[in-house]
Amino acid sequence: MTTYTPPRILVFAGSAREHSFNKRLARLAAERVKHVGGLATFIDLRDYPMPLYDGDLESREGLPANARSLQALLAEHQGLLLASPEYNGFITPLMKNTLDWMSRSDGENSGLALFAERVAAVVSASPGAFGGMRSLALLRQLLGNLGVTVLPNPLAIPRAGQAFSEAGELVDESQRQRLDALCRRLVTTLAKLQATDPSREE
């Protein structure tokens, strides 16, 4: 008889800014993952600085220590929940650079193999009226290219300056419900995959 283990989900935002709306949303999402039965690990990319990806640098020095640390973290988690700011209608350089370094091969259980069979949910918050939705489409494409299955119906929070309470909660009840639904769908999907493949150990 297989013992149920709650799915582990790595959560981060594509912003290093201290008061980033997306970092706030990522922290909130991590709390909601725990509320619906998952195990969430929130990390701040400010704690994992890395140079801009450079193939020559990689050839000379290998992966930066923080890239290896992020790969090790991903290896311990079955899912991802990423909050994506939108810069000029695109994902941030920080998000792209982080995923680029994490996808590089560095021996066994590294590179693209780490992303295979992972499941992700994506969210965004923006001061604008569209909530960062354009960045989510591009992030979904990038994650798909890495071999990640991305859940449909991402959450975009518009007018983010008014969207959060002082306690960091979403003010709008419908947005709270949609975030909970997305987190529950991610946890449930990962749990089902785990149940159909009980020998899988990650």
Average pLDDT over residues 2-17: 90
pLDDT at 194 over 90: no
What's the whole-number average pLDDT of the chain?
93
Residue 74, H or E segment: helix 65-75
Residue 78: partners with Cβ closer than 8 Å, 6 or more residues away: 7, 8, 9, 117, 118, 119, 190, 193, 194, 202
Q: DSSP secondary-structure letter at 109?
A: T
Q: Over the Cα atoms of the chain, what is R_g?
A: 17
- pLDDT for 72-86, tens place per residue? 999 999 999 999 999
pTM, two decimal places:
0.93
pLDDT value at position 201? 47
Average pLDDT over residues 90-113: 91
How far is Cα of residue 25 from the mean position of the Cα atoms in its chain?
Answer: 11
Span of 8-17, 67-76, 102-111, 146-155 with lowest mean pLDDT: 102-111
Q: DSSP secondary-structure letter at 128?
A: S
- Minimal CA–CA distance to 84: which of 159, 165, 157, 190? 157
pLDDT value at position 136? 95
Residue 45, H or E segment: none
- pLDDT for 13-30, tens place per residue? 999 999 999 999 999 999
Q: What is the amino acid identity at position 163?
A: A
pLDDT value at position 106? 85
Please classify residue 130 by burial: count the beta carbons closer than 10 Å to its beta carbon, then call 0-12 exposed, 13-18 middle and 19+ buried.
Answer: middle
Q: DSSP secondary-structure letter at 168?
A: S
Average pLDDT over residues 187-194: 94
Average pLDDT over residues 142-157: 96
Average pLDDT over residues 99-118: 90
- pLDDT for 48-71, tens place per residue? 999 999 999 999 999 999 999 999
Distances in Å between the alpha carbon of 169 and those of 150, 164, 166, 176?
25, 5, 7, 8
- Minimal CA–CA distance to 75: which of 110, 50, 107? 110
Residue 149: partners with Cβ closer than 8 Å, 6 or more residues away: 117, 118, 119, 120
pLDDT value at position 202? 42
